A and B are shown apart, each in its own frame.
Chain A
Amino acid sequence: MFVRLSAAIAALSLLGGAALAQGAKPTDPQIAHIAYTAGVIDIAAAKQAITKASNKDVKAFAEGMVRDHEAVNKQALDLVKKLKVTPEDNDTSKTLSKQAADKLAELAKLKGTEYDKAYVANEVAYHKAVNGALETLLIPSASNDELKSLLQTGLKLFQGHQQHAEHVAAGLK
């Protein structure tokens, strides 16, 4: 089995479960930090894929991830600057980063088609988890309208990424 439940996904589920159970909604500065971190993680994974992937569709997908996630994150930085909000580090962001680093190290050991499949499978699962967190927690919790709107655009974009990744994955069989 090359697909394991990524640790990052576990963190996002934790965010949806435990944090909600306690009734503690993330604040806007925390939401901004989590969303930005989630983008940084996907960019890092994509940059690794650009150097390691052997399939051209996988490579093109990874290039798209860098392009789109960098655009969203730039917009997020511009927005927090405009709103004079300082993104606030938090346990969810920390867990996400730590576990994404582990995943990156795990993928680094793979080669060829094995790597391509594992990267794309993780992209499907990761976008699914991020989209779930956006839909059920981050968007409903955001209080600033502009932040909410950016997250909604992000959700629409990432749903497209998930479908795109599923399409690429199907082509690798």
Chain B
Amino acid sequence: MLPRRTFLIVTALIAGAIAVPAHAATIQIVMDDLVVSPAQATAKVGDTIEWINKDIFAHTATARNGDFDVAMPPKKTVTSVLKKAGTVEYYCRFHPNMKAVLTIAP
């Protein structure tokens, strides 16, 4: 049996850990064979995007309006948190044919 005070602290820590990310979602966007999918995705400010690069090439997700510029090394997954709302067109700077749209709600 844990002493009562330790138990309370542990409970409080667990509750705190759960409470923080409760409303934020994680959305996956995949670069595979020089195609971004989904080509249209929706998310909210505070959500995390998991950028999954399945290709042997380096890619980027570069917002045309300058809101984000994420570099994805070959065969790697990187994450970024959305900070600004808006409908953002983005593309790969290295392979400009790779284009997609991310709609971010406030």
Question: Do A and B come from the same complex?
Answer: yes
The reply to whether B33 and A156 form a contact with Cβ atoms under 8 Å apart is: yes
Q: In the assembled complex, how far is the CB of residue B27 from the closest CB belonging to chain A, in whole angstroms?
A: 26
Question: In whole Å, how far is B84's beta carbon from the nearest beta carbon of chain A?
Answer: 27
How big is chain A's contact interface, by range? 10 to 19
CB–CB B34/A157 < 8 A: yes
Contact flags A36-77 to B (C-beta < 8 A → 1, else 0)? 000000000000000000000000000010011001101100
Tell me if A164 is interfacial: C-beta within 8 Å of chain B.
yes
What band does the interface of chain B fall in when counting residues whose beta carbon is under 8 Å from A? 10 to 19
* Residues on the B chain within 8 Å of A167, using CB: 96
Residue ID in chain A nearest B92 by CB atoms: A160
Kindly state the separation between the CA atoms of A84 and B16 in the bound complex, as whole angstroms.
56
Indicate whether A153 reaches chain B with its CB closer than 8 angstroms.
yes
Q: Enumerate B31-61 residues with CB–CB distance to A below 8 Å.
A: 33-34, 56-58
Cβ proximity bits A151-173 to B, threshold 8 Å, 1 near / 0 not:
00100110010011001000000
Within 8 A of A (CB), among B48-100: 56-58, 74, 94-97
Name the distance in Å between B6's Cβ and chain A's nearest Cβ. Answer: 53
- CB B37 to nearest CB in A, in angstroms, measures 15
Judging by beta carbons under 8 Å apart, are B95 and A75 in contact? no
Q: Give the complex CA separation of A72 and B94 in angstroms.
A: 15
Asked whether, in the complex, the Cβ of A160 is within 8 Å of the Cβ of B57, the reply is: no
| Cα–Cα, bound, A163→B97 (Å) | 9
Q: Are B34 and A67 in contact (CB under 8 A)?
A: no
- Chain B nearest Cβ from A49, distance in angstroms: 16
- Which A residues from 64 to 102 make CB contacts under 8 A with B? 64, 67-68, 71-72, 74-75
Q: Nearest-CB distance from B31 to chain A (Å)? A: 13
| B58: chain A residues within 8 A (beta carbon) | 67, 71
Contact A74 B56 (CB under 8 A): yes
Please give me the residue from chain B that is nearest to A64 by CB atom: B94
Inter-subunit contact A160/B56 (CB<8 Å): no
**With contacts A68-B57, A68-B94 known, is A160 near B74, CB below 8 A?**
no
Known pairs A71-B57, A153-B33 / 14 extra A-B pairs, C-beta < 8 Å: A64-B94, A67-B57, A67-B58, A68-B94, A71-B56, A71-B58, A72-B56, A153-B34, A156-B34, A160-B95, A160-B97, A163-B96, A163-B97, A164-B95
A contacts, CB < 8 Å to B:
64, 67-68, 71-72, 74-75, 153, 156-157, 160, 163-164, 167
Q: What are 12 A-B pairs at a CB distance below 8 A?
A: A67-B58, A68-B57, A71-B57, A71-B74, A153-B34, A157-B34, A157-B95, A160-B95, A160-B96, A163-B96, A163-B97, A164-B96
